[in-house]
Structure 1
Amino acid sequence: MSSSLVVDRVTVEYTAGAPVLRDVSVTAQAGRMLAVTGPSGAGKTTLLRAMAGVLRPVSGAVAVDGLALRDRDDAVSRRVVLIPQDNGLATILTAGENVQVVLVANGFSPEDARRATAESLEHVGLSAQAGQLVEELSGGQQQRTAIARGLALSGAILLADEVTSELDAANRARVLDLLRAEADRGACVVLATHDLEAAAACDAELHLLDGAAELVRA
């Protein structure tokens, strides 16, 4: 299931003539964790969204195993999982339902989805909160629910956007260990983060500044 993700001279714009990313290139490898760092507004979220097929570059390409991504549906079919910074949870559903619904939508049987949901919530320390509505959870608990959902999908490529920003030290360490375990099973893990300690836990680091990229650790 090992996959690699290649960003080749990608430029992304929200407004014509005003690139957010300019000519960015990087390779994220299976079995390794790549940190994407930089100040707010540097383009970290934009890069992950391009990697996930959510944003189409105005030039350059994002490819998985040598084949360019067409769009988000194509990326999903190729098991590219995105854990977004805003968590993307449905507040009217419970923590468990938020995970389970996505698993069923991705082809899990109801029984397998229930089992995977329970396991993933246990991994992030939320077994006791499985039946709580998301709106009743703290910010950190919501973030861990989103992480559990992403991990349960067992993607070949896992893109995690600022997933430790709301967490205390113990839960940050727990999540970084889980991301490392994903890499150890052969996944390609990309972590966008402001957290220097989280970045240091990764194998390589791409630093963004004003839309330009520099690989500071390979």
Structure 2
Amino acid sequence: MQMLTVDEMSISYGDGPVVLRDVSVTVRPGRVLAVTGASGAGKTTLLHAMAGLLRPRDGVVSVDGQPLRDRDHAVEHRIVLIPQDNGLAPILTAAENLQVALVADGVAAPQARRQTATTLDHLGLATQADQLVEELSGGQQQRTAIARGLALRGGVLLADEVTSELDAGNRQRVLDLLHDEARRGAAVVFATHDPEVAAACEAELHLVEGRAEVVRD
């Protein structure tokens, strides 16, 4: 499994001001790292850089010692991002959203259907499998996006505020599944504003106005 390292990374959008400055952190296989901070602190920016969607202004993001070039390179290294906005196709069903992603990842169609059914069931979505995403509630859409990310079984799993619309029971269910991914050997990063969720993770990186403080390592 991969180790993801951020080394003295700074990020800005175009010619704008620096939004992350001199951030360093190592994401280790088998552990869940919580990234915390107020809205606007830079949590999503950090995860997007880890996913190869943003190029650092300074410093480097590397996976197993190789500098991360872009999103395609991240995908090659099995870095899976569950975005905050869920990124689902609204005109497809919950099951179809998973199956399309799995087939694109090289999974044979029959196996993709089996993995889809199993993963949706783990998220309590078995009865919503054939519903269009646009017909699902916000929490159900969020769980569908989580199911898709889990089904892809990445070496690095980046989850961006994926429990914000969930009740306490489903929030705990998702947290348990993320820890299951870590036990499988994945390196998991979980951006969250929930202090109770963060406390259940093995390590925590706290962002304040674009700067990082390691709370637990």
* TM superposition score normalised by structure 1: 0.98
- Show the counterpart of 1:8: 7
Q: CA deviation at 1:3?
A: 1.3
Q: Which amino acid aligns with 1:92?
A: I
Cα distance, 1:15 vs structure 2 = 3.7
Partner of 2:199: 200
Q: Which blocks of at least 5 consecutive residues in structure 1 are unaligned?
A: none
Partners of 2:57 and 2:112 in 1: how far apart? 38
The correspondence of residues 71-86 of structure 1 with structure 2, limited to 5 A, is 71-86=70-85
User: Aligned pair 1:186/2:195, yes or no?
Assistant: no
Q: Which residue of 1 aligns with 2:154?
A: 155
Partners of 2:64 and 2:111 lie apart in 1 by: 28
Once residues 138 and 147 of structure 1 are traced to their aligned partners in structure 2, the CA distance between those partners, rounded to angstroms, is: 14
Q: Give the direction of change, closer, same or farther, for the CA distance of 1:42–1:114 in structure 2 (3 Å limit).
A: same
Q: What are the Cα deviations for residues 185-216 of structure 1, in whole angstroms up to 9, with x where unaligned?
A: 10000000001111011000000011000001
**CA deviation after TM superposition for structure 1 residue 17, in Å:** 4.8
3-state SS, counterpart of residue 25 of structure 2: strand
Distance 2:74 2:104 in 1: 15
Aligned AA (2:194): D
CA distance, structure 2, for counterparts of residue 6 and residue 159 of structure 1: 13
Following superposition, the deviation at residue 112 of structure 1 comes to 1.2
SS in 1 for 2:13: strand
Distance of 1:15 and 1:148 partners within structure 2: 33
SS of the residue aligned with 2:38?
coil
Secondary structure of the 2:39 match is coil
Give the secondary structure class of the aligned counterpart of 1:164.
Answer: coil
Letter in 1 for 2:60: A
Identify unmatched segments of 5+ residues in structure 2.
none
2:17 match: 18
Where has structure 1 moved over 4 Å in runs of 4 or more? Answer: none
Q: How many residues align?
A: 217
Partner of 2:30: 31
Equivalent residue number for residue 47 of structure 1:
46
Matched AA of 1:41: G
Q: State the partner residue of 2:87.
A: 88
- Hey, what's the Cα distance between the residues in 2 that align with 1:107 and 1:19? 38
